[in-house]
Chain A
């Protein structure tokens, strides 16, 4: 099999340039040129996204650039990669996990949560976005109903932070501890706070959030 690293780097550059048209053409060229959709997805698409995430973590690019690249990737995924996968590898599942996401009760701030949503989507998560000001009960009910693997909670205010704790407690009361993992984030949230309330993970930003969600999925396997 050819070394796909060079392709993933080229593809990452097209995503960063937010050149949707060219990124779609490039993907089609590779797919029509003999690279299987599964290899494209795992070794080019996903690797390119990881590289872009690393750039963000190293502060080489800003959040809006990351979002822009992610949006381009999302288009390539839905318009090119997914149809090819369906055509050639029907049944192959690119969904890495299902997550119920919200800004917790008492909080209306949702810009960060929406950014986390986009990054999770392009990284293969099925995201059920409940919106803002969501009570612990509604979150847990939805997670149960949807058989979600993960719950993502966002809080930007000291008044809403206690509802994160309540959501974790309610999850445990419902006997879902270990089954549905909780990840928390938002500007005032720290790893210590996350640990203290019994959450399973914390993400400082959207990229760390994706990494942690992937780690949680690995640990549930």
Chain B
């Protein structure tokens, strides 16, 4: 299974502060020390992340009512799946992870300095999210080379694709161990800072919207991505 592990992740302090529910612009003037802590956390985080993307592409066989069947006979079920992947020729299944080292370091720091520890946690979340975004962009560019497009990324846990359904399906299509990621019986990926996604690939795909549009927390979430906010 292909693995991509050469990523140049860029993190910014604003993303971390926003992830903690703060307005970075206000904090920069009011509490520069907190911005400094976030910046320091980024520096420490970047030396402790091991970005890895494990993926596989599968040709789509048929579209069923609430699922799609792949040519290899496996099915991916969920209302969201048939809704958003129905015009896809292929699906690309991926797991992105930054490894466990940052998490371990953050937990250690947490014991003595929670503010610093939380900034490291925030940096970890931001890093795996940045990795997933970069991977989606990479696959979009790859698809564009043969005049194909990609759908919005779908992730177990979104509306219409429950975690307990989606996670085992993803891990039946990917050998997570190859990226050092395993799925526990309670459907949690280890290392924690991991994300699982699926993209549809094909021609003339309907590409409207952002993942936030399909999220159960849409109306109350403080962490919506900037582009989603602009569209709202």
Name A's B-contacting residues (CB within 8 A). 18, 62-65, 67-68, 70-71, 74, 105-108, 110-111, 114-115, 118, 132-133, 157-160, 187-188
Residue among B22, B121, B188, B220 having the largest count of chain A Cβ atoms under 10 Å: B188
A114-B118 in contact given A65-B31, A157-B163 (Cβ < 8 Å): yes
Q: Does B157 make an interface contact (CB < 8 A)? A: yes
CA distance A188 to B219 in the complex (A): 11
Q: Are A133 and B186 in contact (CB under 8 A)?
A: yes
Residue among A114, A115, A133, A159 having the largest count of chain B Cβ atoms under 10 Å: A159
Question: What string of 1s and 0s marks CB contacts (under 8 Å) between B11-39 and chain A?
Answer: 00000010011110011001101100000
Q: Are B217 and A188 in contact (CB under 8 A)?
A: yes
Name B's A-contacting residues (CB within 8 A). 17, 20-23, 26-27, 30-31, 33-34, 110, 113-115, 117-118, 121-122, 125, 157, 162-164, 184, 186-189, 192, 216-217, 220-221
* Chain A residues with CB under 8 A of B17: 62, 64
Q: Are B186 and A187 in contact (CB under 8 A)?
A: no
Q: Are B187 and A106 in contact (CB under 8 A)?
A: yes
Q: Are A111 and B162 in contact (CB under 8 A)?
A: no
Taking CB as reference atom, which chain B residue is nearest A131?
Answer: B107
Q: Are A133 and B21 in contact (CB under 8 A)?
A: no
Contact partner, B20, options A64, A108, A158, A160, Cβ 8 Å: A64
Q: Are B118 and A64 in contact (CB under 8 A)?
A: yes
Q: Are B216 and A67 in contact (CB under 8 A)?
A: no
Q: Are B114 and A71 in contact (CB under 8 A)?
A: yes
CA distance A108 to B153 in the complex (A): 21
CA distance A193 to B97 in the complex (A): 33
CA distance A98 to B231 in the complex (A): 46
CA distance A18 to B220 in the complex (A): 30
